[in-house]
Amino acid sequence: MTWIEIILVVAVLAIAWLILYLRGVFEPKVKYCSDYRILLDDPNFLPLFVGFSQSLLTQAHISGFWSQPDQIYAVRIAAIRQAQHIIQFETFFMTPGTRANEFADALIERAIAGVRVEVLADHSGTLKMSSSYWKQLREAGIEIRFFHPPRLRMPLQYLNRTHRKLLIIDGTVAFTGGMGVSDDFDGNPKIGDRAPWFDCEIRLENNIVPVLVGIFRRHWLYEGGKATGGYFPPEQPSIEAKPMLVVPHDADSKISSINALIWFSLQAAQQRIWIASPYFILDLNTRTALIRAKKRGVDVRVVTTSARNDKHSVYYAVRERYRYFLPTGIEIYEYQPSMIHAKLMLVDQDWISFGSANFDPRSFYHNDELNLAWFDPDLASIVEKLLLDAFEKSKRIEWSSWRNRPWWQKLIGRCSLLLRWQL
């Protein structure tokens, strides 16, 4: 290697270090220490949780829950076609294809019919979409804003993304979950999928919808959108609703609401913690809480991605962290039919956490995320069956086989963990 090559390598490493430094990667994170556990059945659990995680407590009626991409797309399109006043949509991930075209056709039809349509898309997550795609939407009267487009005055801002997925129709119905707009969710043969991706979506009504409209508007105004008089629906007939916590995390916050949500839930567990997450790289707080839960007899199971993964470096990084869990008896499963993309947690009998956030540093600290948390005996039985099916379709990882994995997998995993804040 010549001196010039050595200088170039050193310069690249120095720039990489400087970027991480400016991003605050080396800043000490908040460490949660407590000699007292607040349990789920404690009457103070919800009030303490609201304050600790900076959540919003509201009422919600759940009018639908789906775990198959074709069902999710169908209910989204049907809702869009029924819109009469305003459609508000925020997403992270879009790619060209049948699903994106179907989505555009539905929005354009409503826009031409006089419905106001507001689309907020993350710039980084929609890079594959052509300018002609956005042009046809704008020509139909659809207003489009991009979250954190490249800005010379704030170049590192581009690394912070909105990872939220939110569709609101006429201020009365909202859909949220983990799924973007892409044919990949129907199964991607390039990564070995044999089935559609495992993901979830929920449909909400009642008081929670105006709260979600406000969360959407926060980003909309931030990126230069105009908050018009909008549509405020008349008072809706009384329908069965239950308390629900909305956990919106902004990357600018020094304390992660998502990290607080997960940790507070884990420390409360007495019977079980079942988790589904594609990118499972816990920080010290949540990792310690999960291990302590297992040591006190909690049934801890995690289903995560297999080699059928859209980010292979993340897959090997996730596998490196198994070293903390497998010796304790925590059960780790790798989903075999396809990519797993659901972000779902069931604690004890009926405490559910669900939304856009993965169990990794990027979701905890560098993305704007949107999760929900609530007690729900009825939906808990559905989530339980869903997770049991996922465990059944997965390969359980054994300590002996994991230790004997190829050396190159170890190398990729350890190198990828060095960049875990940006994966």
Give the span between the Cα atoms of 58 and 372, in whole angstroms.
11
pLDDT for 12: 73
Give the span between the Cα atoms of 2 and 48, in whole angstroms.
60
- pLDDT tens per residue across span 86-120: 999 999 999 999 999 999 999 999 999 999 999 99
Say how many CA atoms lie within 13 Å of 382 toward its Cβ. 12
- Note whether 29-56+245-417 and 60-242 share their fold: yes
Q: How confident is the model at residue 327 (pLDDT cuts 50, 70, 90)?
A: very high
Coil vs helix vs strand at 275:
strand
Side chain identity at residue 119, one-letter code: V
Beta bridge partners of 58: 244
Side chain identity at residue 304, one-letter code: T
Q: Is the pLDDT of residue 234 over 70?
A: no
Q: What is the 8-class DSSP label of residue 339?
A: -
* CATH number corresponding to 29-56+245-417: 3.30.870.10
pLDDT for 158: 74
Lowest-confidence segment of 161-170, 236-245, 390-399 by average pLDDT = 236-245
Strands (E), 279-384: 299-305, 331-335, 344-347, 351-355, 367-375
For residue 172 the two structure tokens come to: 């009365």
Give the span between the Cα atoms of 240 and 164, in whole angstroms.
26
Q: How confident is the model at residue 236 (pLDDT cuts 50, 70, 90)?
A: low
Q: What percent of the chain has pLDDT over 90?
A: 76
Q: Is the pLDDT of residue 1 over 70?
A: no
Write down the domain spans for the chain. Answer: 29-56+245-417, 60-242
User: Alpha helix (H) ranges present in 246-363?
Assistant: 257-268, 284-295, 312-320, 322-325, 361
Specify the pTM: 0.91
Beta bridge partners of 332: 302
Give the span between the Cα atoms of 18 and 20, in whole angstroms.
5
Architecture per CATH, domain 60-242, reads as: 2-Layer Sandwich (3.30)
Q: Is the pLDDT of residue 318 over 90?
A: yes
Query: What is the largest distance, in Å, between two alpha-carbon atoms of the chain?
Result: 76
Angle CA(274)–CA(251)–CA(387) in degrees, nearest 5?
15
Mean pLDDT of 223-235: 74
- pLDDT tens per residue across span 275-312: 999 999 999 999 999 999 999 999 999 999 999 998 88
Angle CA(418)–CA(358)–CA(206) in degrees, nearest 5?
155
Give the span between the Cα atoms of 391 and 275, in whole angstroms.
10
